[in-house]
Structure 1
Amino acid sequence: MKILVTKFRNLGDVLLSTPVFASLKAIYPESEVHVSVNDFCVQIVEDNPNVDRVIPYQRSKNKKQGLLGRIGNEFKFYRQFIGQYDLVINLTEGDRGCIISALSGASRRLGYVNKPTLINKLARFDTSFDSRERIHTVQKDLQFIEAIDSSKVDRKVTLGYKSEHKNEVETLLRELGLEKEFIVVHPVSRWMYKCWDASKVAQCIDHLQQKWQKPILLTTSADPKEVSMAQEILAFCKSKPLLLPKQIDLQAYACLVSKACLFFGIDSAPMHIAASTDTPVVALFGGSTPDLWGPWDNSEGSNYQEITGIQHNGLHTVISNNNMEIYYDGDRKLSRGMMAIKVDTVISQLDISMSRATEDQGLTELI
């Protein structure tokens, strides 16, 4: 049996869909599961043990093509799906997954339908859901699995990595002197309105290093805006946090954060990666809502509400403000809710999470 899952969204969205792949393998153990994602998301799924083939959509390449080049690339992309599958699950509400479903020849087709458009009708989904429903993204995608076989739903979010990623991370940590417990801080996102104030992040870093005597590793992507904000945070710090000295791929990043005792950050793909490794997360939400995007707990799932305040969910803690108003400070796009989160509130929750992590570590050593 050949199964295709399509998810043409961003890194965090694709990561949160990984329980679907594991569930499909549990239901159809002899199946061949193919996953089609945007090219910049391939790292999220290429080492997943439940994925047999990744089919990238060359979004980055197509943006650089002229009109005729883009049309040619689209035809080439769609042609490979014609009559190839028995089951298709489209986890994106856009037209691309609907077109693939229509071409696939699959006898069973499941997908999101928000509007009764012609393309949606051509997809001929026999099971559909509305992606605008306000439930956590993991739960939303798992509705399709529950429609197939509710007894075999796997709810664990997974980013697989290989031995070479582990070796790379171990070498990097030795070079940084981080062979004991450390804290990862990732306070940046390419959507800058999700970010907190740099001086406030620095105050939290200084507190963690002073009180808990744990080294801090600050991480960013290669995006110049993220790197610039990290440098701004470092300039505010009185302590000496470490900055990740080179870019590593997402599989290596998963291995890295799995070794941390705590992850502190905002709603971002690295936050979701940290939660997937069962590293405790403290995350700030002001430009997005935790009921949809909170750090998923692999044991507890999600109990987040769309509220202003502190929420605990299994290993993880969210501090949110649901004022979604966006404003500009010069050329910087900011969220009223994020800027309203207070330093003292965050520090108190970081201390609670560190106390719990320290207790858990003590129990592990006793065992």
Structure 2
Amino acid sequence: MSMPTPQTIPDAFVPQNILLIKLRHHGDMLLTTPVIQALHQRYPHANIDVLLYKETLPMLQAHPLLRHLHFIDRNWKKEGGAKHISHEIGLIKTLRQCRYDLVINLADQWRSAIITRMTGAKVKIGFDYKKRRNAVWRHSHTHLVSTDRHAQLHTVEQNLAALAPLGIAPEGWPAAMHYSEADWQKTRSTLLAHQQVEKPYIVIQPTSRWTYKCWEDDKVAGLVDALSDDSSDIVLTAAPDKNELAMIEHILSLCDSRRVISLAGQLSLPQLAALIDHARLFIGVDSAPMHMAAALNTPCIALFGPTKLTQWRPWGNNNRVIWAGDYAPLPSPDSIDTKTKLRYLSAIPLNEVVAAARKYLDE
């Protein structure tokens, strides 16, 4: 069967309604924002909507360039077959009613391809994933973009590559994280309620949903003690997950400094963004908050282990990556058992992180 044509779409094509599809985690959604910016600059009068998973809505809900967020709730399937099907049909009807001219499918799931096709859009762009090379995937898109260089590209660059048929250059587009003034006021009042914390402060997020991405608790405590002084308070953050909250409590128990507070599990993602945006420095592991810090242009120190650095390093110029692989051998990222309790970041020396932090703080 013939492939959908990959050539550039004529300049005469000016969409009025655009749908962007990405069905992944929180950090992935943040890394779609350069695509949103690029589309808006090329088509300033177009309406731009996004289809995403419900739990990731906070990453884009305050974005000023978006008209509407459609979502898929992963809990639909728990409601039984009939209700699940009803939700899916309702979503398709809603998307068709929006009369999209252009759909850009950044996802790799079969579901995303079927939805793309059923929107009825004139132009439907997707990626030519090797694992999806069959008739269903081909005929769900009018244009497929090569993924041959994806291994050499950052996730942002991969996403932007989907705009090639539109003649949009893939360089020069920053990521963005937005929040409301109410988010900042709520965050600020929460800070003031904890020992009258005011700026300046440092945010440290040592947790991840995956233990293998975490540094050792005693080293985090050592970092807190080393950076706590009369000019900076330390704010620890984490998701409202029992394992992450337990990790924060353990770190606090190891700290000698009293100039540290925990807001773990107390902030929404936009409120966390506000906290990070007003911080002197962010230090964290490979996680959504790290990507938020980079997008907000807050000075960021990112600790990495056996993760694909090329794809997931912080996107921006105001950051420093400290990679455990520079201090000890690491296993291949593709070989990791994500349920392991091993902490591959343990090879990172405390003094290296302290030195990197002080360099930022002294600037």
TM class by shorter-chain length?
0.7 to 0.9
User: What's the counterpart of residue 245 of structure 2?
Assistant: 227
Q: Distance in 1 between matches of 2:244 and 2:264?
A: 14
* Per-residue deviation, 1:249: 1.6
Q: 1:324-343 counterparts in 2 under 5 A?
A: 324=331, 333-336=341-344, 338-343=345-350
SS of the equivalent of 1:80 reads helix
CA distance in 1, matches of 2:197, 2:331: 38
- Write the letter of the residue equivalent to 1:189: S
What displacement does 1:182 show? 0.3
- 2:237–2:265: 8 Å Cα contact kept in structure 1? no
Q: Which residue of 1 aligns with 2:138?
A: 121
State the alpha-carbon separation in 1 of the partners of residues 140 and 293 from structure 2.
36
Question: For the residues of structure 1 that align with 2:246 and 2:299, how far apart are their CA atoms?
Answer: 27
The one-letter code of the counterpart of 1:285 is F
Q: 2:100 maps to what in 1?
A: 85
CA distance in 1, matches of 2:256, 2:318: 29
Q: Which residue among 310, 316, 319 is the counterpart of 1:316?
A: 319
Q: Residue 334 of structure 1: SS of its match in structure 2? A: coil
Q: Per-residue CA shift, 1:152-197, capped at 9, x if unaligned?
A: 9661211221221122123223323222210000000112211111
Alpha carbons of structure 1 residues 24 and 350: separation in structure 2 relative to 1, 3 Å = same
CA contact (8 A) 2:157 2:170 kept: no
Match of 2:167, SS state, is helix
Q: Which whole-Å CA distance do the structure 2 matches of 1:107 and 1:270 have between them?
A: 37
Output the amino acid matched with 1:8. L
Give 1:361's aligned residue.
none
| Alignment-derived partner of residue 95 in structure 1 | 110
Within-5 A mapping of 1:205-284: 205-210=224-229, 213-240=231-258, 241-244=260-263, 247-284=266-303
- 8 Å Cα contact 1:27/1:149 also seen in 2: no
SS at match of 2:293: helix
User: Does the aligned pair in 2 maintain the 1:23–1:153 contact within 8 Å?
Assistant: no
User: What 5-or-longer segments of structure 2 have no aligned partner?
Assistant: 1-15
Distance 1:246 1:221 in 2: 5
Matched, 1:173 2:173: no
Deviation at 1:257, TM superposition (A): 0.7
Corresponding residue for 1:354?
361
* Structure with higher RCO (Cα < 8 A, 6+ apart): 2
Whether the 8 Å CA contact 1:89–1:110 is kept in 2: the answer is yes
Q: Which residue of 124, 127, 130 corresponds with 1:112?
A: 127
Q: For the Cα contact (< 8 Å) 1:27–1:152, is it kept in 2?
A: no
Q: Provide TM-score, normalisation by structure 2.
A: 0.86
Q: Which residue pairs with 1:303 in the alignment?
A: none
Q: Normalising by structure 1, what TM-score?
A: 0.85
- Read off the aligned partner of 1:143 and give its amino acid letter: A
Q: CA separation in 2, counterparts of 1:166 and 1:158?
A: 16
Map of 2:90 onto structure 1: 76
Offset of 1:138 from its aligned partner? 0.9
- Number of equivalences: 335
3-state DSSP class of the match of 1:81?
helix
Q: Once superposed, what is the RMSD of the aligned Cα atoms?
A: 2.2
Question: Identity of paired residues, percent?
Answer: 30
The answer to whether the aligner puts 1:141 opposite 2:155 as a matched pair is no
Residue identity in the other structure for 2:178: G
Structure 1 residues 136 and 153: alpha-carbon distance in aligned structure 2, compared to 1, 3 A threshold: closer
Post-superposition offset of 1:147: 3.7
Counterpart residue identity of residue 237, structure 1 = C
Counterpart code for 2:255: C
CA distance in 2, matches of 1:214, 1:179: 9
Whether contact under 8 Å (2:32, 2:156) holds in the other structure is: yes
Please tell me the residue identity of whatever aligns with 1:334. Answer: L
Return the alpha-carbon distance in structure 1 between the equivalents of residues 359 and 139 of structure 2. Answer: 52
Change beyond 3 A, Cα 1:81–1:154: farther
Residue matched to 1:18: 33
CA separation in 2, counterparts of 1:207 and 1:40? 36
Q: 1:199 is aligned with what amino acid?
A: D
Q: Helix, strand or coil: the match of 2:161?
A: helix
Partner of 1:310: none
